[in-house]
Amino acid sequence: MHVLITGGAGFVGSHLAETLLQRGQNVTIIDDLSTGRMENIAHIRQFPHFRFAIETIMNEAVMDRLVSECDMIYHLASAVGVELIVNRPVEVIERCILGSEVVLKIANRYKKKVLITSTSEVYGKSSKVPFSEDDDRILGPTTKSRWSYSCSKAIDEFLALAYHKEKQLPVVLVRLFNTVGPRQTGQYGMVVPRFVQAAMSNQPIRVYGDGTQSRCFGYVGDVVNAITALMNHPEAVGQIFNIGSNEEVSIMELAKRVKAITGSKSEIVKIPYEQAYEQGFEDMARRVPDLTKIKKLIGYTPKVKLDDIIARVRDYFAEQRQNSKFSSSNGYGEVFTPEPAPAAVV
């Protein structure tokens, strides 16, 4: 089996690539390193059946070659993080919609099965919790760039399902809910690594808003196992599935848990949304997945609990710090400095 992973040098993509290589599959990844990092894949480059193309998925000539050579495609390339969504909306919209258009068009050319990673953001401001795959979407106005990511990923879903309906392209769609674990950084506002890095440096743990907003954090290993199980299940084709954890926690409680687990002396401070992001920023009050559908099909139940996730993230950053791979502080705790990207296919 030869697998192509777009965005394979990213946080989730690198874990997926590692898992598939360990299962004996041939893996090719394509990543332009705009948010992916060479450090994420350094440990898997010794696998004999691994290839890495440093290129954008917008390059149709490269994508045509890679898709023609693979058996299936995991499409993970996308914009990540609320800070990126707010500060660079053009990049977010174009990368989501135009990138998925290229992937689906070329996949259809060769009739290769595709798994599209979407997001819990598509549910918008809906107050119906937990979120089920067929629920209505409630969004804010187009004047608030916060909702551009939600709409862009929804277009990805519409397009993928249209290819399936009209052209019989085998597609599987998954909506990821706050996936966390080792290799994720706080560079684009991801809350768990941001909190852990700050706590480990005894710097203020910055809670945006009033801290009552709640989330569910799924461990990346659980998520990757679910993704691969769905990709290999024939009844998943043409369907959408939530993936994540249903262990709900407020962001303020998350900050307190991080402080306790890291043994930190950090102060927990509240930062208004307007200061953290932009004037008039809107957030989702709760984000809890209904996991009934995926459990029924593949028996999925998240195994790693939140406190264990925090501890694993802490241990990862401790190891990286010991290996002197951190740059200086940026105000949120220390962050990685990505290696320069060589301009080649490795």
Catalytic residues: 149
C-alpha to C-alpha distances, 280 to 48, 137, 205, nearest whole angstrom:
51, 20, 23
| Alpha helices, DSSP H, located in 73-147 | 82-87, 89-110
With tokens 């559908």, the residue in question is 293
Closest CA to 289 of 71, 126, 139: 126
Cβ-contact 246, 302 below 8 angstroms:
yes
* Residue type (1 letter), 273: Y
DSSP strand pairing (248-250 vs 214-216)? antiparallel
Conformation bin of residue 238: beta by default, left when phi > 0, alpha when psi is -120 to 50: left
Provide the token pair at 15: 């874990």
The rounded distance, in Å, linking the Cα atoms of 99 and 255 is 35
In the three-class reduction of DSSP (H, G, I as helix; E, B as strand; rest coil), residue 253 is classed as: helix
In the three-class reduction of DSSP (H, G, I as helix; E, B as strand; rest coil), residue 250 is classed as: strand
The rounded distance, in Å, linking the Cα atoms of 286 and 7 is 28
**Taking CA 228 as the corner, what is the angle to CA 72 and CA 160, rounded to the nearest 5 degrees?**
55
